Each structure stands twice: as structure tokens, then as C-alpha cells.
Amino acid sequence: MTGTARFGALILDLDGTLLDTAPDMAGALNRLRVEEGAAALPFEAVRPHVSSGAMALVRLGFGEPPPAAFERLRQRFLALYAERLSEGTSLFPGCAALLEALEARHVPWGIVTNKPEYLTRPLLARLGLLERAGCVIAGDTLPERKPHPRPLLHAAELLGRAPAGCVYVGDHARDIEAGRAAGMYTVAVRYGYTAPGEDPSDWRPDALVGAPEELLPLVAAAAA
């Protein structure tokens, strides 16, 4: 990574970047499939689609039913997920050390996700992260959501940093698109929920990392 000394804040996507939520998201989808008389899908078939959200997971599980049926399934999926929000979810290996390093060096960090607030905040609270984050921008915090840059610009404002002084890290093309539009340094992660056939380098991020600890040079540069 080049030019890292200008960075003063780290902003992270949630699902597939900071938190491994796939066990609980896949579990909710498979409970819904069983309710609907279908067999559970293999975890490996569900994991790559988690960052695309509830609508994508319902389509994965049920195709394209009529709009009313689709909405019923979507709402039921969200209800099932909310029931077991943090049963199998955890920080990705290396993320705990990353956050500790940021805090030890007084480098602010925050979260920008498209996950709705009613799921995001309780999940972060249960994992002891809500009070630690300098900001939490969810998918319905503002009228706009990623790939629109406004959630990221709002996060930078709350963290007290210029957008050009922030790094945004994500595992989806829309994360890199939003970060670029906000004027931030963008980092794509290879360990997240990349869909089959996708290559994060095609999103044109400023940097690629294969593990959270590879972000530690950014922390050292920001602290310097």
C-alpha cells in the first residue's frame, strides 16, 4: 500500500469485512427453506451471497416468486435472522487485533453497512462493538445507501476526518464504488463473501488484502 501516511481513520463494511455473519444468515435462509418444504442448502453455496443482502439470499433460496410471495419470504427471512442474530457470528480472525491496534494508537474507526439499523446495532452491542465504534452508519440511517457515497461522507464527518483522510474497507463492488465516489482510499478484502467468478481486483480498489492483519500498516501510518 502506498501513500498511507495521509490516513487518519479506518471505516469498515460489516458483513464479510469486519464480521463473519454467514453462519447466522445461512442458518436463517435454511430454516426458511425447511419451513417452506425445501431442503437446506449447503453452507458453501450460501456464503458467497451474504454481502448482497436479504433480497439476494431469498432469490438464492426461492428464485423469483411473485412480488407478494417474495416480500412475505423476505420478511420471514429477516424475522428468522433477527431471532438468532449472533449465534454463530464473530469477528473475522485478525479483526480483534486490528481494532485494538487502532484504539491503542487513538485512530478512530467506524462502520458503514447496508444492513438495517434494527439488526446492525443489536448485533454490534451483543459483540461488544457498538460503544467502541466511532460511528455506525446503517443502510437506513440516511435516505441513501451504498454505492451512494453519502453514508461514507457522513461517517467521515462524524469521525472528524476529511474524506481524503479515510480508508474504506469492503468485500463488495459497491463498497469500492462508494469509497471511490467519496474520495477515500479503498481497500478490497479477499477473505469476504465474494460471489463465484468475481475478482475483487476488477473493482479497481486502491489496495487488496487477503487478511485483516494486512491492514496494520495503515494503522501504523495513521498513528505516525
Catalytic residue numbers read 13
Do 150 and 142 touch, CB atoms closer than 8 A? yes
- Closest by Cα among 89, 95, 86 to 12: 95
Cα of 21 vs its chain's centroid, Å? 9
- Closest by Cα among 185, 135, 195 to 160: 135
Quote the CA–CA distance of 215 and 75 in Å, as a whole number: 36
| SS3 assignment, position 182 | coil
